């Protein structure tokens, strides 16, 4: 199992550019989510999904879009990058339907994004 | 709205001594997580606490949960340099797997 993978590892964008951060998992997890981590802070939830075709907003969704067409993939799109979106982005996955299996959440290695 | 507060924000430790990190949260939850993060790295899962009175131990780390007080503690016994990292607690809301994180405790263990 590769676990949760994210690409790219690093990215520099100019203000106004758009891009997609990729996230994939091979554990057949229903639940996937995106967090951002700003310097010296904890993670904040951007968007999440409980299965293919189902997404919802987290705490800080503005400026980001997601879709979930397959169980494995959960891309995060920045529509028009702003300097305030400079951050480290983590994707996570876990089981969802089975209470006994819901506990462990697996985090990807992160994407470090700088917007100039 | 679920809020999670950790303290202290920074902990300078001496090797061999014991310390505690506190995690308070504002509303009912059925799961509390502790993670470790090294600089530039992802989160490493340490513990998942599921019920009132739960206690888990791994090496020099021990975590406990008091759901009535909405408080979890992470106790470090006889600190060693390898434990230098940032520690986060995170609380899952009762509606599902959404995690709300505390602000983190940066731990530096000095010889």
Closest residue in A to B43 (Cα–Cα): A107
Closest residue in A to B5 (Cα–Cα): A42
At residue B93, the pLDDT reads: 78
Mean pLDDT of chain B: 94
Distance CA A113, CA A90 (A): 11
Confidence of residue B95 (pLDDT cuts 50, 70, 90): low
Length of chain A: 116
- Alpha-carbon distance values, A6 to A107, B56, B68 (Å): 10, 31, 38
Interchain proximity B97–A96, CB inside 8 Å: yes
At residue A28, the pLDDT reads: 92
Per-residue pLDDT of chain A (116 residues; tens, 9 = 90+): 789 999 999 999 999 999 999 999 999 999 999 999 998 888 999 999 999 999 999 999 999 999 999 999 999 999 999 999 999 999 999 987 776 766 788 999 999 999 99
The pLDDT tens digits for B62-91 are 999 999 999 999 999 999 999 999 999 999
Residue-by-residue DSSP string for A12-62? EE-TT--EEEEEEESS--SEEEEEEE-TTS-EEEEEEEEETTEEEE-SS-T
Q: Which residues of B touch A (CB under 8 A)?
A: 4, 31, 33, 41-43, 45, 48, 50, 88, 90, 96-104
Separation of CA B92 from chain center: 14
Asked if the bond preceding A8 is cis, omega within 30° of 0, the reply is yes
* Contact (CB, 8 A) for A93 and A32: yes
Q: What is the mean pLDDT of residues B102-109?
A: 96
- Angle, vertex CA B65, rays to CA A45 and CA B25, nearest 5: 40
């Amino acid at each position: 199992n590769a676990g949760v993978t994210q690409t790219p590892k690093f990215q520099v964008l100019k203000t106004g550019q758009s891009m997609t951060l990729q996230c994939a998992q091979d554990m057949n997890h229903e639940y996937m989510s995106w967090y951002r981590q700003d310097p010296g802070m904890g993670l904040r939830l951007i968007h999440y999904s409980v299965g293919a075709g189902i997404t919802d907003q987290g705490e800080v969704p503005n400026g980001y879009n997601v879709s979930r067409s397959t169980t494995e993939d959960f891309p995060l799109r920045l529509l028009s990058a702003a300097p305030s979106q400079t951050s480290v982005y983590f994707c996570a996955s876990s089981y969802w339907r089975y209470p006994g299996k819901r506990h462990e959440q697996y985090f990807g290695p992160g994407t470090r994004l700088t917007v100039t | 709205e679920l809020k999670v507060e950790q303290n202290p924000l920074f902990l300078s430790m001496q090797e061999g001594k014991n310390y505690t990190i506190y995690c308070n949260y504002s509303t009912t939850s059925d799961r509390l997580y502790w993670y470790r993060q090294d600089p530039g790295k992802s989160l490493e899962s340490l513990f998942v606490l599921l019920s009132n009175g739960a206690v888990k131990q791994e090496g020099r780390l021990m975590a406990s949960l008091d759901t009535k007080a909405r408080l979890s503690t992470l106790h470090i016994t006889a600190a060693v340099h390898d434990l230098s990292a940032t520690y986060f607690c995170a609380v899952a809301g009762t509606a599902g797997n959404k995690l709300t994180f505390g602000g983190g405790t940066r731990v530096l263990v000095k010889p």
